[in-house]
Amino acid sequence: MENKPKLTVVKIGGNVIDSKTALKAFLNDFAALNGYKILVHGGGKIATKTAEGLGIIPVFHEGRRITDTPMLDVAVMTYAGLINKDITAQLQALQNNALGFTGADGNMILSEKRKNVAIDFGWVGDIVSVNHELVKVLLQQNVVPVFCAITHNGNGQLLNTNADTIASALAVACSKDFDVNLLYCFEKKGVLSNADDNDSVIKKLTFSKYSQLREEKVIHSGMLPKLENCYDALNKGVSAVYIGSPKMIKKGDTPYTQVAL
């Protein structure tokens, strides 16, 4: 059987995006990664700050953003504009031929407005399909795609879409053609067995161990959707999934969590 080329999909979020210093250090490490790679970014805190500066009050339900029309405008400006282009420019300076995308560009990620839920989240999208053929062509041309958290519905409507889910969907779609590693980078060192102890990193989190810790409410509730995306990716063809600080890109002695079935 022919060996597939390796692809690394990295999602960056949390406080790393908010800090110019932390982002610059991460992008230096990301740029040095060998082989095919894709970057996916969030930026919720910057969107919240931008909204407040414009007199728009962000609304959340159980930690999830309600995206009404004014908030969608802010999300598009912040994610697809400010953050995406800043990251793309910095990667160009590091000799990575980066190209920034929303899901609408090249019909990369098609979504539908979230439905059948008790709360109306507004212009929030759930992913329907990924244009993996176009992603493959770009990668083969040594382009580094940089995806923000904005998708579209195919009828001209942009949608705010969870960046963790975008990273997982891209990894799964690309696993048809590539041997994919999916990395979730944020401010913590990994999945913690004690939320108050940043050094209590679970080195390997199998699904049975995850189920047990979830039952015992050991894993912080904010981590649950991220882990659901991890297991979904592993069940659909992604080779390996890791969660940790941006330093784990260089591996070495840095602790991180490997998510395993």
Structure tokens at 211: 């189920």
CATH label of the domain that carries residue 17? 3.40.1160.10
The reply to whether 246 falls in a domain is no
The reply to whether 228 falls in a domain is no
| Widest pairwise Cα distance in the chain | 58
Residue 237 annotated as binding site: no
pLDDT in tens, 193-209: 888 888 889 999 999 99
pLDDT above 90 (res 119): no
pLDDT in tens, 28-69: 999 999 999 999 999 989 999 999 999 999 998 877 889 999
pLDDT of residue 5: 96
Please tell me what DSSP assigns to residue 30.
H
pLDDT of residue 252: 66
Contact indicator for 244, 254 with CB cutoff of 8 Å = yes
The reply to whether 230 falls in a domain is no
Q: Which residues span the domain enclosing 60? A: 6-188
pLDDT of residue 129: 97
pTM, rounded to two decimals: 0.94
Residue 65 annotated as binding site: yes
pLDDT of residue 15: 84
97 or 222, greater pLDDT: 97
The reply to whether 234 falls in a domain is no
The reply to whether 35 falls in a domain is yes
Structure tokens at 123: 């212009």
- 17-21, 116-120, 204-208, 211-215: which range is least confident on average? 116-120
In the block, residue with structure tokens 């962000």 = 58
**Average pLDDT of every residue of the chain:** 93
pLDDT above 90 (res 231): yes
pLDDT above 70 (res 4): yes
Whole-angstrom distance, CA of residue 151 vs CA of residue 162: 10
The reply to whether 25 falls in a domain is yes
Structure tokens at 35: 């082989």
Q: What is the number of domains present in the chain? A: 1
Residue 64 annotated as binding site: no
The reply to whether 260 falls in a domain is no
Whole-angstrom distance, CA of residue 49 vs CA of residue 23: 18
Structure tokens at 14: 């949390």
pLDDT in tens, 127-154: 999 999 999 999 999 999 999 999 999 9
Query: Between β-strands 204-205 and 98-101, what pairing exists: parallel, antiparallel or unpaired?
Result: unpaired
pLDDT of residue 207: 94
pLDDT of residue 64: 80
Total residue length of the chain: 261
The reply to whether 217 falls in a domain is no
Residue 84 annotated as binding site: no
Whole-angstrom distance, CA of residue 220 vs CA of residue 101: 31
pLDDT of residue 146: 98
Q: Is 67 helix (H, G, I), strand (E, B) or coil?
A: strand
